[in-house]
Amino acid sequence: MSVNVVWFRRDLRLSDNPALHNATQNGKPLIPLFILDEHTANSGAAFKWRLGLSLESLSLDLKKFNSKLILRKGDPLCVLKELKSSVGELNIFWNRLYDDNSIKRDTKIKSYFESQGDKVTSTEGMLLHSPWKTQTNAGSYYKVFTPFWRALSKQEVKPTASKPTKLISPMKWPKSDHLSEWKLDKEIGQGKEYLIETVHVGAEKAKII
């Protein structure tokens, strides 16, 4: 049986996560995955510290479903290739990112795995609508906000993806790094003592802000 892999990126939540929702619909075992790539590893100190807290929160949420977050470090294509070699046929799910580097990376990854017969599903999870869905009648992009807003407001907004009720674990979990090994809080130093009072980690706490 093939395994569904949900590649978490900037969407470290179980509720309103289209990629996760789609991955739970066919009843296949599911592996939640986060990859610490070069760009993320080179981010600022506060970002990495907050990322560590968010990954810890997501891991705890997944444990409530008898699931676990697999942590890997390296080039995403190499990590996913290695995962495929250890678990077999993959169905990969992710929510789209829209910066140039992410688009190029994701296109490369999708092309590779589809050429191997694996299914890759990307969904809108960061924006209400992907940028290419809102264009002028001439097929170009809006340069003035008011007509852009009029066009955008006419588009239907998809309903919020529900939180999963069950996550099916694989027969054997792949190897995972330990979050503490990444030392994401190393560079922030004593700054975290001042910031900890202002952060709201996790989807549930974010709702009460």
* Domains of the chain: residue spans and CATH: 3-126+160-206 (3.40.50.620)
Averaged pLDDT for residues 109-131: 87
Percent of the chain whose predicted confidence (pLDDT) is above 70:
91
Q: Which of 33-37, 183-187, 200-204 has the highest mean pLDDT?
A: 33-37
Reading the block at residue 48, the tokens are 């990495």
pLDDT at 160 over 70: yes
pLDDT at residue 63, rounded to an integer: 96
Q: Is 45 exposed, middle or buried (0-12, 13-18, 19+ CB in 10 A)?
A: middle
pLDDT at residue 206, rounded to an integer: 60
pLDDT at residue 141, rounded to an integer: 82
pLDDT at residue 142, rounded to an integer: 82
Quote the CA–CA distance of 126 and 97 in Å, as a whole number: 7
Per-residue pLDDT tens digits for 18-47? 999 999 999 999 999 999 998 888 888 888
Q: How many other C-beta atoms lie within 10 A of the C-beta of residue 3?
A: 22
Residue 50 neighbours by CB under 8 Å, 6+ apart:
199, 201
pLDDT at 208 over 60: no
Mean pLDDT of the chain: 88
Reading the block at residue 88, the tokens are 């077999």
pLDDT category at 127 given cuts 50, 70, 90 is: confident
- Stated length of the chain: 209
pLDDT category at 181 given cuts 50, 70, 90 is: very high
Per-residue pLDDT tens digits for 39-83? 888 888 888 988 999 999 999 999 999 999 999 999 999 999 999
Q: Give 51's strand partners.
A: none
Averaged pLDDT for residues 98-118: 93
pLDDT at 157 over 80: no
Averaged pLDDT for residues 168-197: 85
Read off the pTM.
Answer: 0.86
Question: Under a CB-based contact definition with an 8 Å cutoff, are residues 117 and 84 in contact?
Answer: no
pLDDT at 198 over 80: no
How far CA 163 is from CA of 62, 78, 160, 203, in Å, comes to: 11, 30, 9, 11
